[in-house]
Structure 1
């Protein structure tokens, strides 16, 4: 019982610390935006940097403008964990006003290590244990003139497409309450989409920057391992290297995403972090006619009508530009999903759960996964046999059969399978002759709260590219329309495999009306510059057919 009361005290104290840091701010942060501050938040990052470089705008004025917007975003969505505003006010006095990020406030995911602040990841055991050293990416950003001013919410195991934990509570989707902003970089996506920040840093091990961008309506590119610094930051599953966690920028607009990505590479991150490849920025020229591969359906979960419509709009736009559209058949997505998910939780969640106290409930989004992983193997074999032979559900049987805590030999076998899958993907891409790939980021738009409990298997469209380590960008295209995105009358949910059937429990276009829907643009490994160029071309192509995504809360 003592541990129960200690947990309650820790949660209350951590939330009080956050509230106190907000309360201690000057009244200015609670006042309406002035006309000059409105102009600041309307200004793209590249232009704002130029104005700071030339002494036209002061970094403190930028901080005040975005500080006001951030606190309003937090009030409406509960997106923040750590409040760094007071330190940020000291940073602006000495920041590099001639740097490529001069005076720009940058938000970061809770896992990013900033000296003097916690990286709890939602676990009570990490509360009030401030980080002792800035991570390389934080050092790099600060030296470029950036102002680190807040950290954003996450799910406590970083294994969910929602953002809920016991310390900081639940983050709302900025477009619609009752829906998740995505995860695990969900607080970051909510803040960006709301307009409280223009640039943020998130992480991705199974879609964690792409799915939040899709759910919330912002922009990102999941970089390949070795492009963006990752060392020195926190992780819920320490030592998990079967599918490597990467860090990537996220942004409110595509223009800002393109700018920050180039800046990060031009800063020579390999001089800050030993994990980064010394690859300078490469300018890309696209051919006038390209061959575009499309994954319409991974054979596990058919994309919902809303997501399929966004994909079709993108295909139509690219086709109008004269590009050749072909269906791309990747190596078995089911096999890829098996390898990726079993590598990510090869320990059956032991590392993540070891950080959860005896009375600390964990995220419902991973409840099913961990419970099944802990069942005796013989029980799972029986269940798998029943799904295969009685239900005729090969998909569920295949994924369930070996969903176990791995021995070292089994883990090594999965790593071998991973390398084989990468080789197959490489050959399939090369044989197809495609220049890039287009598909959905997820089978559905944003999940309702606690929807991840049903959507535990709805991860294939993102994890496929983590497994292959391909560059993959997500951009918003449209929004759910309650009339256009209804399920056809012929759609029989009862005939779906169990994973797809559970996923469709969350799909309700009437309730989801107005939620963002994105598309995923994929290039091969270490082709981030190319993916960004194709995203830019795709945005222009969509505009040419009259499709232009309107960002939320545009002033």
Structure 2
């Protein structure tokens, strides 16, 4: 009973801490954007940093513009966790105004270690326990002139793709209420898609999933890969290069010493297309987005090749079991016995605890070898597919629709670099689907999903992030030439 009361008190104190910090900011950040701030907010990152370099714009003015939008995003989507504006204001006075990210407000998912603030992972054990040091990634960004100003919501212990936990509650999709912005970086996606920070598939953001060893990850609360997410492709390319040019390997021993590489693509490319992972076929909206991309690339005279990967079922199984290879014992040991579990987390742990027929590491390496061989034999330059079988799911949809993430976890398993750039047919029936696909589609409702963004995924091989960015640019331009362009609408 005493432990339970302490748990409730801890959550209440943490929520009040956020409320108090926001209330303190309202006299400045609770007002509408001024005309000057609106211009700052809509200025592309490369141009904005250049204006800070020249002294045309002050870092504090950039912070005010981004901060106001972030608080509005919080009001509408519940995307923020740690509010760090006051510390960012101090940083704005002393930041490196000649750095590659000079004066740029940066938000972080709530797993990144920042001195003086919590990494709760959405559970009581880590609440009200501020960290003592910045992680190498945060130090790198500060050295480049950036201003860390907030952290964003995540799933409970990151074992779901809906951003919900017992401390901060549920984050809304900024496009259509009642749907998730995704996870584990869902709070970040909601903030970006709303326009509050530096459009991924569920929320309409641009990102590159980096291979392990390219972006610093040591010193954070979780060891997963970290990558930038931005509101536009040009911002993404600029920020990614700016990070690599800071010599990431000098901040983190786990990073490969790979400087930025300029890539020149051949005029004619062989484009692999994965139309389905063989487990859950893409929904009509997602399939349509993929076909629009294929048509645009074909019109540019690139060769289109249907790519069939090694067993996607094996990829899904190995990936989910590897994430919690100890069957979730370490993760769940951090959770108090009376702390409610998210339904999707519960299902994930059930899957992770299925009997393992062999050592997962050799099995993973065997799958990677098969994938490498299939890629080389196909001769493709890059691969295009959907990021997920469906658009964003309704809240609590991840419990039944877990298997639809196979299009994403496949590339996590092989550690390949990847980047993210409506109605069902009348004869659609769950009865026609396999058992796994039935779950994925149980929450599909084309009418309610109207207005949600969908994306395509561009994939290259391991540590080929620069190549992915080049191919994202090529694909975006091909789509524009074919009359297809994403409108951020802020």
Q: Unaligned 5+ residue runs, structure 2? A: none
Asked whether the equivalents of residues 156 and 345 of structure 2 are also in contact (C-alpha less than 8 Å), the reply is no
Which of 195, 208, 230 is matched with 1:221 structurally?
208
Please name the residue that 1:425 is paired with. 371
Q: Which moved more, 1:97-106 or 1:339-348?
A: 339-348
Which of 444, 467, 476 is matched with 1:507 structurally?
444
Which of 409, 430, 441 is matched with 1:463 structurally?
409
Please name the residue that 1:101 is paired with. 101
Q: How does 1:315-330 map onto structure 2 within 5 Å? A: 315-330=294-309
1:271-324 deviation line (CA, Å, top 9, x unaligned): 000000000101111111100000001110010001000000000110010101
Which of 492, 495, 504 is matched with 2:432 structurally?
495
Deviation at 1:491, TM superposition (A): 2.9
Q: Unaligned 5+ residue runs, structure 1? A: 199-211, 236-243, 375-402, 476-484
Deviation at 1:151, TM superposition (A): 0.3
Aligned partners of 2:45 and 2:19: how far apart in 1?
29
Which of 226, 229, 236 is matched with 1:257 structurally?
236
**Per the alignment, in what secondary structure is the counterpart of residue 156 of structure 2?**
coil
Which of 308, 311, 324 is matched with 1:332 structurally?
311
**Per the alignment, in what secondary structure is the counterpart of residue 107 of structure 2?**
strand
Deviation at 1:26, TM superposition (A): 5.3
Please name the residue that 2:246 is paired with. 267
Aligned partners of 1:361 and 1:552: how far apart in 2?
38
Question: Does 2:255 correspond to 1:309?
Answer: no
CA root-mean-square deviation: 1.3
Deviation at 1:489, TM superposition (A): 2.8
Please name the residue that 1:71 is paired with. 71
Deviation at 1:348, TM superposition (A): 2.0
Which of 520, 530, 549 is matched with 2:457 structurally?
520
Please name the residue that 2:395 is paired with. 449
Aligned partners of 2:63 and 2:350: how far apart in 1?
45
1:115-161 deviation line (CA, Å, top 9, x unaligned): 00000011111011111010000000001100000000000121211
Please name the residue that 1:296 is paired with. 275
Please name the residue that 1:391 is paired with. none
Structure 1 residues 87 and 373 mapped into 2: Cα distance closer, same or farther (>3 Å)?
A: closer
**Per the alignment, in what secondary structure is the counterpart of residue 106 of structure 1?**
strand
Deviation at 1:368, TM superposition (A): 1.9
TM-score (norm 2): 0.98
Asked whether the equivalents of residues 195 and 552 of structure 1 are also in contact (C-alpha less than 8 Å), the reply is no
- Runs (4+) off by over 3 Å: 371-374
**Per the alignment, in what secondary structure is the counterpart of residue 503 of structure 1?**
helix
Please name the residue that 2:146 is paired with. 146
TM-score (norm 1): 0.87
Which of 486, 504, 510 is matched with 2:423 structurally?
486
Please name the residue that 1:118 is paired with. 118
Count how many residue pairs are aligned between Structure 1 and Structure 2. 490
Aligned partners of 1:48 and 1:468: how far apart in 2?
36
